[in-house]
Structure 1
C-alpha cells in the first residue's frame, strides 16, 4: 500500500506546529527564561538547526508562539459581523476557553505575565494586547453605529476594561484554580457587559 507523500508546505507546517507545541510545554514547565532553541528542538524531535531555520531566533520563536496561542482561542468569531453580539460572544468564548484550562491558554497567560519583567517578551505582548483591544474597540464602535450599544461609551476605554477583566480572571485561575469557578462566573460577566453597553432603555 503506497503512502501519500506530503508536500513541502505540509511538512513545514507540521514541523512548525510541533515546535510551537514543544515551546508551549517548556514554558509551562520552566518559564520563558529557560526556553532555548536546542531544548525546543529536542522536545519536538528535531535539531536546533531546524528551529533556527523556521523561526530565525529565540525572539522569532516567541513571536510565533504568542500568535499561535492567541489565534483561534475563541472559535467562531470570524463568522460574526462586528457589533454587540460578537463582543458578547468573544467575552463568553474567552471565559469558556479559560474554563477548559488548555495548555495553550496556560502558556499564553504565563508568557503574558512574564512580559512585564522580560525584555524579549515586552514588544510581542504589547503588540498582541494592542491588537486585542483594537478588535474589541471595533466591535464597540460598530455596535454604536448600529444602535445596539450606547453612544455615550468610549470604545477604547471599554476595550481596556474588558481586556483587563478577562486577563485578570485568567491570572486568578492560574494562581488558584479551585477559587475561580469560571463556568459559574461566565454568564454573569457576559450579562454585566450586555447591561453596561446595551442601548436598550437608555
Structure 2
C-alpha cells in the first residue's frame, strides 16, 4: 500500500526542524558569528534560499533557534500549580535534563554566553531570562501565599539566584562534562532550596 503523501505543512515543518537542527549544530561547533544562511542550508541538505524563505535572515533564524532550544526544557510542569513544589520540580528537572544534554541545549548555552558580548543577541536572552525569572518569582510568591515558603523570602532575589545557579551549572557541564554530576546536583541543589525556602 503506498504511503500517504505529506502535506505542504508537514514538508514545511520537516524543513524547519532540519534547518534549526543544522543551525544548532553549527552554533555548537563554531559559535554564532560563523553562522550563515548558506552554511545552515548546506548542513541541512537544502539551499540557502529555503533558509531565507523560512526565516528571512540570520537574526530571525537566531531568534527562532533561541526560542526553540528553550521551549519545554523541563517537561511535565504544565499541570503543576505555582508554588514550592513546582519550583523544586523545575530545579530538579533542569538539572536532570543536563544529564542528557543534546545539541539544542548546547546551542542555547552557547548563544546565552555569547549574548553578553553580542548586542544583537542580548535582547533575545534578556527576554528569555526575564520570563524564566518571572516563572520562578510566581512560584515563590505562591509558596508564600500558601504558607509553604518563608514570608521573609524575597521572590525577586530567589528568582535571580536560581537562574544564575542553573545557568552556571549548565555552562560548567558544557565546558567540562566530566566535572558535573547532574544527578547528584539534582538532589543536593533541590534539597538546598527546599531547606532555604521553607517556612
Shorter-chain TM band: over 0.9
Give, in whole Å, the separation in 2 of the partners of 1:15 and 1:131.
28
Q: What's the offset of the Cα at 1:140?
A: 1.0
Match of 2:189 in 1: 189
RMSD of aligned Cα (Å): 1.1
Deviation at 1:15, TM superposition (A): 1.2
Question: 1:6, CA displacement in angstroms?
Answer: 2.1
In the TM superposition, structure 1's runs of 4+ consecutive aligned residues that sit over 3 Å from their partners are none
Q: Is the 8 A contact 1:98 1:182 kept in 2?
A: yes
Distance 1:108 1:34 in 2: 16
1:7 pairs with 2:10: no
Query: Using the alignment, how far apart are the partners of 1:58 and 1:33 within structure 2?
Result: 10
Partner of 2:42: 42
Aligned mates of 1:89, 1:48 — CA distance in 2: 41
5+ residue gaps, structure 1, are none
Correspondence 1:56-71 to 2 at 5 A: 56-71=56-71
1:128 aligns with 2:136: no
Match of 1:160 in 2: 160
> Helix, strand or coil for the counterpart of 1:79?
coil
Residue 159 of structure 1 deviates from its aligned partner by: 0.5
Q: Structure 2: 5+ residue runs without aligned partners?
A: none
Aligned to 1:105: 105
Question: Distance in 2 between the 1:24 and 1:175 partners?
Answer: 17
- Calculate the TM-score normalised by the size of structure 2: 0.96
Instruction: Choose 84-93 or 117-126, whichever is displaced more.
Output: 117-126
Instruction: Give the whole-Å Cα distance in 1 for the aligned partners of 2:154 and 2:9.
Output: 44
Aligned residues between the structures = 199
Give distance in 1, aligned partners of 2:32 and 2:120.
Answer: 10
For the residues of structure 1 that align with 2:20 and 2:120, how far apart are their CA atoms? 17
| Residues 1:171 and 2:171 aligned together | yes
Separation of aligned partners in 1, 2:157 and 2:9: 42
How far the C-alpha of 1:148 sits from its partner, in A, is 1.2
CA distance in 1: counterparts of 2:80 and 2:56, whole angstroms: 36
Q: Is the 8 A contact 1:28 1:110 kept in 2?
A: yes
Contact conserved, 1:97 with 1:105, CA < 8 A, in 2? no
SS in 1 for 2:78: helix
Partner of 1:17: 17
Q: Does 1:29 align with 2:29?
A: yes
- Partner SS, residue 118 of structure 1: coil
2:116 alignment counterpart: 116
